[in-house]
Structure 1
């Protein structure tokens, strides 16, 4: 009973911090937080093994975790609704994710975490350009300034 009360109090406190915030921003911030941890933890895990083996081990854990997550939270009717176009685009995304991870782990094995992670975050600019080109998403002046700052940061930090 006390555990449930503590959990309820934490949820109320969390709702105070996120009040008025679109839910997707909250999820994106959590993603950012865990992605930051991921790089540091991965660098520790690569000690004494190759980047390729480290990536393989990590991917097995990701695979099992995501399957368990889906088993618990994805309704069967959602699975039954998957179409060929979903498989095509999500499969293509899986291939690009795998390639990104392969090159990220190769860089992480020999490079500094902060520098590798920052260069990797340059993907924000790539995503912005591709979203405008392929999805016809609008790029605002504010977004252009942000992209310019990201590129500037990449040049400053990546340069030795």
Structure 2
């Protein structure tokens, strides 16, 4: 049996927990500040912490050890992340965290669709049923009755 700490499930659950805390902390954090400025502060914190982790764990890589293709896709990913964060913080500024977060998590549905369309991944009927339930659940949680 492999150690829990090296399983993707462990890290995915931690990611979900931290994402939930992100929504709660960000909702309070954007109350009295522009949402774009709040995103900037968050980004600076992330850069500093991650830089410290890379240096502290000696994981820093020489910049020329990364291929141009990798740089291109990481640049695109960074732009998408930035756009996502800006939109997310704007949505939190305007709406309830309990409704914004589920709509944001429709990204799970979109990742499944994009994975199939662009990466050639395959999902079973049961997987698609789960994706449909995630989509329906997000809409139901976000619905304001």
Q: TM-score, normalised by structure 2?
A: 0.90
Q: Is the counterpart of residue 84 in structure 1 residue 68 in structure 2?
A: yes
| 1:3 equivalent in structure 2 | none
- Pick the aligned partner of 1:61 from 28, 37, 45: 45
How many correspondences in the alignment? 142
Task: Work out the CA distance in 2 between the residues paired with 1:84 and 1:74.
Answer: 23
SS of residue paired to 2:33: coil
Q: Deviations over 1:25-56 (max 9, x none)?
A: 11111111111111101111112111111111
Q: CA RMSD in A?
A: 1.8
Q: Would you say 1:129 and 2:113 are equivalent positions?
A: yes
- Counterpart in the other structure of 1:9: none
Query: Could you say which residue in structure 2 is the equivalent of 1:8?
Result: none
- Residue of structure 2 in register with 1:107 after alignment: 91
Give the structure with higher Rg (CA).
1
The CA distance in 2 between the partners of 1:100 and 1:140, in whole Å, is 29
Does residue 139 of the first structure (1) align with residue 135 of the second (2)? Answer: no
**Of the two structures, which has the highest relative contact order with CA contacts closer than 8 Å and spacing of 6 or more?**
2
- Structure 1 unaligned segments of length 5 or more: list them: 1-14
**CA displacement at 1:154 relative to structure 2:** 2.1
Query: TM-score, normalised to structure 1's length?
Result: 0.82
- 2-structure distance, mates of 1:54, 1:150: 29
Segments of 4+ in structure 1 off by > 6 A?
Answer: none
After TM superposition, the structure 1 = structure 2 runs for residues 15-54 of structure 1, keeping only pairs within 5 Å, are: 18=4, 23-54=7-38
